[in-house]
Structure 1
Amino acid sequence: MTQAVRQPPAAQQADVSGQQDAVRRRVRRRKGVRAAAEGWSFIAPGMVFVLGLSIFPAAWAFLLSLQKWNGFAEPKLVGARNYTKLVTDAEFWQAVTQTGVYLLLFVPTSVLAGLFLAVALNRQIRFIGFYRTAIFVPFVASAAATGILSTYLFSPQYGLVNNLLRLVGIPAQGWLEDPHQAMIVIALMSLWGEAAFTTVIYLAALQDIPAELLEAARVDGANPWQTFWRVVWPELSPVTVFVTIWQAIGALQLFDLVYTTTRGGPLDATKTIVYFLWEKAFKGLEFGYGSAAAYVLFAATLLITLGMVIYARRKGMEAF
């Protein structure tokens, strides 16, 4: 009679341990699948809602950009004709130029103003909470309110700014009615509302800088200016990249303030790309042409963002 070969105790323990490990892995896998399913069940409705409001309109807009449609008649497929028409459209290129001017006026100024205000507010003084709140109030004001305020301040006839200029003997200016000054006024009013955003971001970054770094700089004999440029500014580089990209995207999408003040005038001096596509699509009922302009704007925004991110990473200022 053949006797069963009995394994050594060590081998038996190894088999049991391996079986237990396999059971534990299966249990962990089931728990992970269950947790993932529960997580997806929570976010799925919201994700479907968000995707439905983003991907579907984007796909439909791209389809419209390949068509000629006035909203009533049967759409007619024209291929890339809307895009080629943009290349030769002088009105479109004027809108591109005006948007570029606004971008150059607004973005650097808003970043520098936000940095200056954040440094000024990053201290423990009396009523500091009130000052920080007061800086942020214009950011939550609506575009309509900002537009009404702009009209009141810069009206050539009864505006507060011209009244102050008259008191010091300076001739009244045209402001929003002057093609050479209107975009500057738009940039100033945008700065009044949007500089609060960069201020808050910079203020949070300043408070996140380790106190040991600042103390070490003072111990080494650095004055406040040297401490800022040698210690603080390098720590703020990623934040600067972020706010620059954010403000640039916002500048490319300027519409509401123009709509509530100048309606693209005078003489199209404040007509931006977004106002141009809105005018073509919703006033001229050229939905395909307006959608093509929107996708050109999307491509420009994407290229600027990618360029900034690549530059930041090469310089070691990764913000994403």
Structure 2
Amino acid sequence: MTTAVAAPTVPSPPPPERSRRAKRTRAGLLDSVSGWMFAGPATLLVLGLSIFPAGWALVLSLQKWNGFSPPEYVGGANYARLVTDEAFFDAVLHTVVYTAMFVPLSVLAGLFLAVALNRRIRFIGIYRTAIFVPFVASAAATGILSTYLFNPQYGLVNNVLRMLSLPSQGWLEDPSQSMVVITIMSLWGQAAFTTVIYLAALQDVPAELLEAARIDGAGKWQTFWRIVWPQLTPVTVFITIWQTIGAIQLFDLVYTTTRGGPLGATKTIVYFLWEKAFRTLDFGYGSAAAYVLFGVTLLTTVGVVVYSRRKNMEAF
């Protein structure tokens, strides 16, 4: 009697679509793991240097602590003290004045230089590099340079004025002129940033639009105002927000030149909180001023973004 042996069943291959989907999933998972292996350490470092200090500063703003004795919880007393502190409001006023001078001038200077450099002329690469060099200079170098240029006794600017039979100025030693000098030196370094951003945006303007405007008989000014400027509006919003945030946080140039003088005329918000925290060792009060600065910066950014979106000038 013979016994029939059943042939082994061979599993059917998975559908091609399911196999491809599984391969894509595995490939995506491997890419994610590889990416986080590279970016993970840097991400942890950034979070550790931003989130933890921010949380600790919030706790300190509710305390009275000089760095040595045990901290004392005072609640919102530090914030209430800011409301009645005339020195703090003077620092706010100085920061607002500086921002009102610096931001429009930096945007206009960057736009003017970018338009001037957006052409095919000889040695254009050298000109563009020369414009960008001040941006990479350190604040200390810029401060030392401004001190020598605007020194009332032996500064280069006053020497030029004397040669022209004009009266010498006090510059950094004059309370009415010191913030103007700091604004000028800030423009010397920061206008290069706005120039580079505008130059990149100008080179992205479609050439066919410019050619169509030229064929239609539009002049240079009409072409810029009707064609180029609408293309630059989102970039202008971004630059305005960026420069405003930088202006509100002004510290390094003040520290390397006037140290808040003369007579406190250049004491900004950041210099005020640095002075309270690290010179008088009132860390709680300085942290409260820092959080007020954070709130002002956040509200300013949100306000500009909302306004730009309502006007269809989105940059983010």
TM normalised by structure 1 equals 0.92
> Which position in structure 2 is the counterpart of 1:246?
242
> Which position in structure 2 is the counterpart of 1:184?
180
- The offset of 1:43, in angstroms, is 1.6
Q: Does 1:46 align with 2:53?
A: no
Q: Which residue of the other structure, out of 249, 253, 259, is the alignment partner of 2:255? A: 259
- The offset of 1:38, in angstroms, is 2.6
> Which position in structure 2 is the counterpart of 1:89?
85
- The offset of 1:27, in angstroms, is 3.9
The 3-state SS of whatever aligns with 1:201 is: helix
CA distance in 2, matches of 1:147, 1:80: 37
| Identical positions, percent | 72
CA distance in 2, matches of 1:155, 1:67: 42
Gaps of 5+ in 2: 1-11
Q: Which residue of the other structure, out of 158, 163, 166, is the alignment partner of 2:154? A: 158
The 3-state SS of whatever aligns with 2:21 is: helix
Aligned residue type for 2:220: P
Aligned residue type for 1:73: S
> Which position in structure 2 is the counterpart of 1:55?
51
Q: Does 1:110 align with 2:144?
A: no
The 3-state SS of whatever aligns with 2:29 is: helix
Q: Does 1:98 align with 2:99?
A: no
Further displaced range: 178-187 or 157-166: 157-166
The 3-state SS of whatever aligns with 1:180 is: coil
- The offset of 1:271, in angstroms, is 0.1
RMSD: 1.4
CA distance in 2, matches of 1:186, 1:142: 15
- The offset of 1:153, in angstroms, is 0.9
CA distance in 2, matches of 1:226, 1:28: 52
Deviations 1:115-166 (A, max 9, x none): 0000001111111111111111111111111111111111111111111111
TM normalised by structure 2 equals 0.93
Aligned residue type for 2:244: A
- The offset of 1:172, in angstroms, is 0.7
Aligned residues: 305
Aligned residue type for 2:139: A
Q: Which residue of the other structure, out of 61, 66, 69, is the alignment partner of 1:65? A: 61
Aligned residue type for 2:21: R
- The offset of 1:285, in angstroms, is 0.1
CA distance in 1, matches of 2:189, 2:200: 19
> Which position in structure 1 is the counterpart of 2:170?
174
> Which position in structure 1 is the counterpart of 2:24?
28
Q: Does 1:277 align with 2:273?
A: yes
CA distance in 2, matches of 1:24, 1:130: 52
- The offset of 1:19, in angstroms, is 4.9
Gaps of 5+ in 1: 1-15
